[in-house]
Amino acid sequence: MTTTLNSFVSETQLSTAEQSLTSTGSSEKKFVGMATVTNTSSSNVEVTLWRLSTSSAGTTGSGGNWFWRKTIPAGQSIRIDALLGQVLGGAMKISGIAATDNVVNIDISGTTES
């Protein structure tokens, strides 16, 4: 097995549709070491993240499968503590959505084992 330090996503802007941010193949694993979101707009923006199998879609609301939801203040960066230390097993993904298109940047880094 080989372990490599990676920047999974860097300055990726979230949209108003769920998008996959990083995923694993069936024979690899990823460990999340750091994750932040930055709201570049002048308004507060809600962000929702999911940690799912690659074949699943994110759902919201009561009974939804999201693991992190937070309103990011205008012009601020937030560390996503709930994501730090998480492991993606084989065929898993982290996906996200923002309430406003193209104003929230997300950065996720860690290690990949293959």
Domains assigned to the chain:
3-113 (2.60.120)
Residue type, 2: T
Q: Which amino acid is at 44?
A: N
Give 70-100 pLDDT, tens digit per residue.
999 999 999 999 999 999 999 999 999 999 9
Pairing of strands 3-13, 104-113: antiparallel
List, in order, residues 6 or more apart from 18 with CB less than 8 Å away. 50, 57, 58, 95, 96, 97
Residue 103 has pLDDT above 90, yes or no: yes
Asked if residue 67 lies in contact with residue 3, where contact means CB atoms within 8 angstroms, the answer is no
- Model pTM greater than 0.75? yes
